[in-house]
Amino acid sequence: GTTPIPEIQADNSWFVEGLAGYMEPTPVGSPNLERLADAQDARRLQRLLPLEFLHTFRLGSFPGMATQSMLSAYAQSWALCHFLMHRHPEAFLAYLDRLARERPRADEDTLAWLLESLHQELRPLEQEFLAHLDQFAPEDPPWLKRYQEFLTLREELITLARRW
């Protein structure tokens, strides 16, 4: 017979989506420019979620959120994972390992597990995270880069056509 595949459930959307975004660029762990642009936009518009709110999303990719809010949550999740992997890798990996080994009680918030792993309080951690996000040069969203490439190509074609 075949061995059944064990059921694996992500307890929390932010680190699942954030780690996926962390793994996308080459090399792994370098800035995910699309997510960075969205995170910077959310920061500028004061749409970043408090960490305790971001942490409440369970099982799924931010269900029930409006599209722009969902994009911001994906971006913030990437930015938070990038921050934790670059500034606190051992503690973050210890947190992920604990999540893989233990199921929290129904009344237990695993955000406390993260803070415990990091030996930090929530608000100072948020401030450190925001400082990490603010270190990046402003990034244009991908659609704007493509539009600029289109305009550049258009100008080159017009110049070329005038030479005929």
Q: What is the pLDDT of residues 99-158, one digit of tens each?
A: 888 888 888 888 999 999 999 999 999 999 999 999 999 987 666 667 677 778 888 888
Higher-pLDDT residue of 59 and 85 is 85
Angle at 106 between CA 117 and CA 62, to 5 degrees: 75
Joined tokens for residue 126:
């948020």
User: 7: which 2 tokens?
Assistant: 């059921």
Calculated CA dihedral for residues 27, 28, 31, 34, nearest 10 degrees: 100
Query: Which pLDDT score is estimated for 139?
Result: 85
Q: How far apart are CA 82 and CA 78, in angstroms?
A: 6
Mean pLDDT of the chain: 86
pLDDT value, residue 59: 61
**Residues 120, 99: Cα–Cα separation, whole Å:** 18
Largest CA distance in the chain: 75
pTM for the model: 0.78
CB atoms within 10 A of CB 113: 17
The percent of residues above 90 in pLDDT, for the chain, comes to 50
Residues present in the chain in total: 164
CA distance linking residue 113 with residue 153, whole number of Å: 51
Rounded Cα distance, 55 and 112, in Å: 10
Dihedral angle sign, alpha carbons of residues 51, 80, 122, 103: positive
> What pLDDT was estimated at residue 111?
93
pLDDT one-digit tens code per residue, 14-29: 888 899 999 999 999 9
